[in-house]
Amino acid sequence: MLNEVSKIRRGGKRVAVYPGSFDPATYGHLDIIHRSSKIFDNLIVAVIDNPNKKPFFTTSQRIKILKDAIKEKNVTVESFNGLLVNFMKKKNASIIVRGLRAVSDFEYEFQMALTNRKMYNNIETIFLTPAEKWTYISSTLVKEIAKLGGEIKCFVPGNVEKLLKKPRS
């Protein structure tokens, strides 16, 4: 598989896309970003702009949060809407990075990987698990804890914590 990944290059570089809503970004997301940046020459963190999901943060807020939190030089953050495969083609990227926290994530992610490859056969999906200390946390859980007044600084960067604690109008 790694030999196949090394063949997928743009201008001699391995370009991967890590898509998600990142609403909000957690330390689990940042762990996947950090480790992916070591594997691929370029990593695009692709923030989905899907108003039907009714995100807590706007797309521009999520992009800013990620840009402020990401230190790796070979990582860029962009938004996209529509099909991921169309974004991949536009970016000339062929590797999708997906995080798996638990076995329960696998079935959906496996189905998506096969569907994406059917629509664009140059795509390979790489699954990474976050560090063990982040496997149980999700954006949904973080938002719920914050909404109920719980402590979230151990799950998210400081900029996210401040925004989640800010009163919403």
Catalytically annotated residues: 29, 53, 101, 139
Give dist(CA 20, CA 58) in Å, integer. 13
Among residues 57, 54, 55, 33, the alpha carbon closest in space to that of 43 is found at: 33
Give dist(CA 121, CA 113) in Å, integer. 11
Give dist(CA 127, CA 24) in Å, integer. 20
Place of tokens 């860029």: 76
Give dist(CA 57, CA 66) in Å, integer. 12
Give dist(CA 15, CA 91) in Å, integer. 9
Give dist(CA 131, CA 118) in Å, integer. 30
